[in-house]
Amino acid sequence: MSANVAEIIVETLQSAGAKRCYGVVGDTLNHFTDALRQSDIQWIGVRHEEVGGFAAGGEAYMTQELALCAGSCGPGSLHFVNGLFDAHRNGSPVLLIASQIGLSDTGSQFPQEVDQSAIFKQYSVFCETVVSAEQARRMAALAAQAALAKRGVAVLIVPGDVMTQTPDNQLGYRTHRFSYSLRPTAQALVPAVEQLNKGGNITIFAGAGCEDAREQVIALAEKLQAPIAWTSRAKDFIEHDNPYHVGMTGVYGLEGGYHAVAECDTLLLLGCNFAFSQFYPERATIIQVDQDPTHIGKRYPVDVGIVGSTRDTCEALSQVVKENTRSHWLEKCRKRYAKSLEKSAHQSRDSQVIHPQELTLAIDRHAAENAFFTADTGSVNVWMLRHIRASQQRRTLASLQHGTMANAYPQALGIQLAYPHRQVIAMCGDGGLTMLMGDLLTLVQQQIPLKIVVYNNSSLSFVELEQKVEGLLDAYTELKNPNFGEVATAMGLWGRRVEQEAELDVAISQWLAQPGPALLDVVVNPMELVMPPKVEAGQVASTALYSAKAVLSGRMDEVVHLVKSNFLKR
């Protein structure tokens, strides 16, 4: 019996390396899930498709292998949008099978009809509709190939009536994979070499494009005696065992990285697409290396642009630049970073208050050396980036490009399925967790041993900070939370709540030792501020204005708590 379109697509995607597919069954998707049932691809039923999008994105980001999602027509596929937009911006090779109403009903405003192409073409590397059975194998192979080669989301729209059709004939299309280098010409390197040979204070600013170039970046830094600041997306590749790194700049960063970038004479951007222009140096000569020509000068004006991979370009530069024997600039930046990192840890004088930094440092002490960490957008993300130590095997993931809430434990769900024997820790804000809390039941049903910690400050704390630095009274940010430990227990997870600092270490050990899914609810200081590496005068004035408004509004106790929490800790 000939295979139908659903079976052909599943066979093609399995051959392309897909191991799991996330979604909610039903309607126009039923024939596809029936084909999955007869394959080696595991179906992961979720309670909300957005969670499935995040989970597929987390799995694909860490494995760099194809992960699948599948949605029914209309609302089913639409629910994936936010999770898949995040996956795409993270560079995760994910393929969505977006089933559609029948071809004969298209264009008639049929119930649940949605123009999915118009929606998903905004953030995808491939978005096409299968309109005949003869197209199925070819389109599935090309969609998977685009997702893997371009590292993004591919969308294959399949009408429900096409799913059951069988082709009269078909060619043997399959997904191809590639490995290649992108090395600039010798002539293209000349302006950069001339500038680097002038010496002075040289800083490397490393981005996500350094993923496979760690050794080459460090070798170049050694030859130039250059400190390496890094973007948040480069943490996993640059931070660990690196005598040249000085941390991040930007809002998430500390003084070491900030001053290394702001005060240098020459800034070498390596695979760096850092978006915030206020943190670039005003007078330095800037050299940018990127494998995408459209990224050169995109974020800030540069003096020299080089198109090439970070790995190949650093290898070439290391061979021709002069060796710098002066290390004063490097040592100065390293000392600044060490001092600011110690200062940011914040040990409390009050045993009744748990600072989120203390919680993060405690998790870091107890976590495995090959653990995965995810973090919700906001202050929790800052604590992960600053205080979770990178290592050769540890990995981190957050929504750093899309900046969505509620990403942490759904991303971690997919990572845990891909790495069942490694520790996966989701660092959740209370707002993020409650936005998509229903899929805690998926952890129980699938027995996924994910470990979730909730930074419970009963507020949207990063939004409060935004409001305060603009001189506004914080408003509409309060969250009335339950005891999440008890909620977790009621849902079938292991759960516990911690309110005292003295309980932290024992509770974390107990939580991480659980064989199944476990949630630790930790009540943290609600007045904690995320202090940037440089506080602008306008921010000070605006925060003072907030304080004055708070006092006049009868909220003097909040101002006192704010000062004690952030300036009188040691």
Q: Count Cβ atoms within 10 A of the Cβ of residue 425 and give its class: 0-12 exposed, 13-18 middle, 19 or more buried.
A: buried
Count how many Cα atoms sit within 13 Å of the Cα of residue 308 in the half-sphere of its side chain.
24
Say if residues 354 and 405 touch (Cβ distance below 8 Å). no
Tell me which residue has tokens 């909610």: 24
Q: Residues 269, 274, 275, CA angle at the centre, nearest 5°? A: 140
Ranges of residues in the chain with a pLDDT under 50 are 535, 537, 539-563, 565, 567-570
Looking at residue 104, its pLDDT comes to: 83
Residue 349's pLDDT is: 60
Q: Judging by beta carbons within 10 Å of its beta carbon (0-12, 13-18, 19+), is residue 133 exposed, middle or buried?
A: buried
Q: How many CB atoms lie within 10 A of CB 498?
A: 23
- 422 phi and psi angles, rounded to 5 deg: -115, 155
Are 93 and 69 a contacting pair, CB within 8 Å? no
- DSSP E strands in 423-471: the ranges are 424-429, 451-456
Q: Are 383 and 254 in contact (CB under 8 A)?
A: no
Task: Compute the residue count for the chain.
Answer: 570
Which residue is it, tokens 């009868």?
Answer: 554
Q: Which residue has the tokens 């500390």?
A: 254
CB 408: neighbour CB atoms within 10 A? 32
pLDDT score recorded for residue 156:
98
Q: What are phi and psi of 388, to 5 degrees?
A: -90, 120
Is the C-alpha dihedral spanning 62, 96, 274, 535 positive or negative? negative
Q: What is the pLDDT of residue 459?
A: 83
What's the confidence (pLDDT) of residue 301? 97
At residue 544, the pLDDT reads 44
What percentage of the chain exceeds 90 in pLDDT? 81
Distance linking the first and last C-alpha atoms of the chain:
75
What's the pLDDT at 439?
98
Averaged pLDDT score across all residues of the chain: 91
Contact 299, 168 (CB under 8 A): no
Please give the Cα distance from 412 to 435 (Å, whole number): 16
